[in-house]
Amino acid sequence: MMPTMRPVVIAANWKMNTTPSDAAELARTIAGRTRVAGVTRVICPPFVCLASVRDALVADDPQVAVGAQDVHHELAGAYTGDTSAPMLDGLATWVIIGHSERRRDHGETDERIGRKLGRAVDGGLRPILCVGEQLADRDAGRAFEVVERQLGGALDGHDAARVAAARLVIAYEPVWAIGTGRNALGSDAAAMAEAIRATLGRLGWERAGEVPILYGGSVTAANIGEFLAEPSIDGALVGGASLKPDEMAGIVGRAGITAAARLSAIS
């Protein structure tokens, strides 16, 4: 039996895809095909599409939350092209922080990600903190060490109770399993989820077992079941498949089975 009923979360990361003119219709279609009890649904479109997706979901399915794909580590200033937490007020209620592509393409450090986490919490945004190792780290047996360092760097200096109150979600992204043809196993994700919660415990989180952990590594309707079959995995951060209504319907449908089973187990 699970110590606590953690939410089952499916978050769609649309990355640099869609435009304001087509994002609203895609959001409505996905929302309409994923109305499944017990699953928390989040759509994270590009910044320019936040307003259109928000408006579409408010009208069609307000149960689907809107998330931003990033947030700046400062509140305002000379940061051309960036978006701060106050700017997201009214547009998004969730935010992805430290995605592997941000780390890779923008050189984001654990310290910088930690500052972004603080801004998200201050701004009332629910953060999805991404962690995960590269192929070289996995092959060298450093996977757990790398993820522990990422967690420590991001959470350093933050009050654990305050971040927990912001309902932190952690997404484990094995970078080596994203678009490489090399697949992670459910057991890989489960082992890392357990290590993440153990690390949170060492960092002073008294209720580490209540933190939802998502899997994010080339998730599809065909493989989601393997990950959700693991009791330590609480959903998925979905990339390319989140742009396809059929895929999202399958992913959220399978997540609903997990949510129902968990509810039954604690009833």
- pLDDT per position as a tens digit, 131-189: 999 999 999 999 999 999 999 999 999 999 999 999 999 999 999 888 777 889 999 99
Residue 266 confidence (pLDDT)? 86
DSSP-derived 3-state class of residue 237: strand
In a domain? residue 29? yes
**Structural domain tally of the chain?**
1
Q: Is 25 a catalytic residue?
A: no
Which CATH number do you get for residue 17?
3.20.20.70
- Residue in the block written with tokens 């931003």: 68
Average pLDDT value for residue range 67-81:
98
Residue 4 is predicted with a pLDDT of 65
Rounded-to-10 torsion of CA 19, 21, 27, 29: -130
Q: Is pLDDT above 60 for 2?
A: no
Q: Report the share of the chain in percent with pLDDT over 90.
A: 92
In this prediction, residues 177-206 reach a mean pLDDT of: 92
- CA pseudo-torsion sign 13, 18, 24, 25: negative
Q: Which of 72, 99, 108, 210 is catalytic?
A: 99
Strand locations in the chain (E): 8-13, 39-44, 65-68, 94-97, 126-131, 169-172, 213-215, 235-238
Task: Give the pLDDT confidence of 107-132 residue by residue, as tens digits.
Answer: 999 999 999 999 999 999 999 999 99
pLDDT of 56 strictly over 70:
yes
Using the predicted structure, report yes or no on whether residue 31 has a pLDDT greater than 90: yes
- Dihedral angle computed from the Cα positions of residues 79, 133, 93 and 14, in that order, rounded to the nearest 10 degrees: 80
d(CA 127, CA 98): 10
Mean pLDDT of the 39-44 span: 98
Is 3 within a domain? no
Q: Average of pLDDT values for 30-48?
A: 98
Q: Is residue 113 part of a domain?
A: yes
pLDDT > 70: what percent of the chain?
99
Domain containing 262: what range? 8-266
Catalytic residue (choose from 101, 133, 173, 230): 173
71 pLDDT more than 80: yes
Told to judge if 99 belongs to the known catalytic residues of this protein, a careful annotator would answer yes
Per-residue confidence (pLDDT) for residue 181, from 0 to 100: 76
216 CB-near residues (< 8 Å, 6+ apart)? 13, 130, 132, 171, 172, 173, 178, 236, 237, 238, 239
Write a three-state SS string for 69-112. CCCCCCCCCCCCCCCCCHHHCCCCCEEEECCHHHHHHHCCCHHH
Confidence of residue 1 (pLDDT cuts 50, 70, 90): very low
Provide the pLDDT confidence category of residue 253 given band limits of 50, 70 and 90. very high
Question: pTM for this structure?
Answer: 0.96
pLDDT at 68: 98
Look at residue 2 and tell me if it is in a domain.
no
Closest CA to 18 of 244, 260, 250: 244
In a domain, 1, yes or no: no
